[in-house]
Chains A and B, each alone.
Chain A
Amino acid sequence: MKVLVPVKRVIDYNVKVRVKADNTGVELANVKMAMNPFDEIAVEEALRLKESGGADEVVAVSIGPTQNQETIRTALAMGADRGIHIEAPHEIEPLAVAKLLKEVVAREEPGLVFVGKQAIDDDCNQTGQMLAALLGWAQGTFVSGIEIKGDSAAVIREVDGGLEHLEIRMPAVVTVDLRLNEPRYASLPNIMKAKKKPLDSMSAADLGVDIAPRLTITRVEEPPAREAGIKVCDVAELVDKLKNEAKVI
């Protein structure tokens, strides 16, 4: 079985993002970029599946500008076998991404797609569900455990009330949550090896997909700032402030 893993290039999760002065977006120039942390978990899970004999090839795909090839190289350095880069604007929407991925699935015919449950930049949490819809496949979302059982998979989902167990038919789209695994670091020899792994590049137009945005971002602004408060000396003062000043207890 082949496993497809879409990986997104986003601002590194440690970076404090800054809104552009003209309120058109956030500052991306000279900002450290990295693979979306949830997608790292997706790559890791695909690799573990391959290492346990449950998959024979892991293909990483990334959609965005040329720099997204770096993100694919990261996946290859972790252990993915080959990469596919689809040239598109950085701001592409989840629906368009899902449509492009559907075309990739049609060409590659994977048995499973592992993808992060959300990207930490736009926080949309849509792509996996949309891809599953377009393919008419089952979806296991926010997954913290998975066991492949031939033509079905047992998944454990992190839901608001706790955990939910589902049995989903394969092929399927599985969106991964934080607790599924801890992604490995790429070793230096593997980073070197990754440079020689195959990486195909194509454009959205090659796949015949209309990626024109459906939403217009009219303004991006800083959230209202919270004013720093005061330090209290001890628990007694804290309780007094909460009772008599803030009046919340």
Chain B
Amino acid sequence: MQLSDLVAEKHILVCCGSGGVGKTTISASLALSAAMAGRKVLVCTIDPAKRLADSLGLKELGNEEARIPDEAFDKAGVKPKGELWGMMLDSKRTFDDLIERISPNEETSRKILENGFYQNITTALAGSQEFSAMEKLYELAASGKYDLIVLDTPPSRHALDFLDAPNKMTAFLDAKVIQWVLKPYLTAGKMGFKFVNRTAKAMFSILEKATGKETLADIADFFLVFEGLYDGFKARAARVRELMEEDGTAFLLVTSPQSGSLSEADFFVERIEQDGMALGGVIFNRVHTPPTDLTSREAAALGEKAASSLKKYQPAVEALVANLRLFILLAEADKRAIDSFLTRLQKGVGSVRVPYLLHDVHDIATLLDVASYLKLRVLRV
């Protein structure tokens, strides 16, 4: 399937990739071109560049979706046939909303939201952002408001972190195991350690010594309240997971041609195939395009020829030729890296190359430029 088909037909596109490869820009361009073609599209982003967010009016959005205003399009001289919506994900709010949704009553949700342990796991600790991105995606997809949702995944070190988040979070919050660990502790608090088995006793005394009584009490309190919510939580995480495997969902891998980024990409491709999810395509971003057809060696030979017939201007000619060779070498290195990556890629997975752009992508007009490199035909009205 071509990228343009995915954008026209899928309901969810998840853009993955390691940090610094331009995921946000690519996500926004994909969403924009679908909106131009007539779909109602939401781009859900985590941390857009300030100028891009400003120009799309995403500034004050918080965790709510908002329609990108007509003025933003007017400036680029275009009119979308569909609608483009945007939002910035607020991880903590998403978590809180979820707790409120699965709590049977206000008291339960309040108890959890005020728990110190809960506050720490939702805000400060690794993995919570990935988890809430998936949760929000599920909520938005279930609302049925959009033809297409493009999700820009959090800037994690590894593209894989995103896929692991729901399982990790569910396992972490598993009430059964926790019960087993902490019930004796809670009982012990009331009745002494009499009924607690020896290993557990040893562990609690070490944990207590190490972390202090209050810490364990906080954790125990949290799990005691959360116990009743766990099944709901787990069921939801399972549905999120199912959504990832649906036909309407495709993953797109965004990568730069740099070796570090590509070796991450290798892991990601392998993993996504293992997990039975669909890799829709690969987008190579910030690719150096050759300034000429010459190889660097040919350029050097021509350079010598030019320098010898223009002796008077030798310093200038040498600098010009050295610079030409630099850009040829950059393009050659990128091409080699990409070609070798493509040989490892499953047949039928499409790929596109977006050149290294000399200007920042910060508004509708420049996003449309990117869309054209993504080979997305955009009708300009």
A and B together in one complex: no
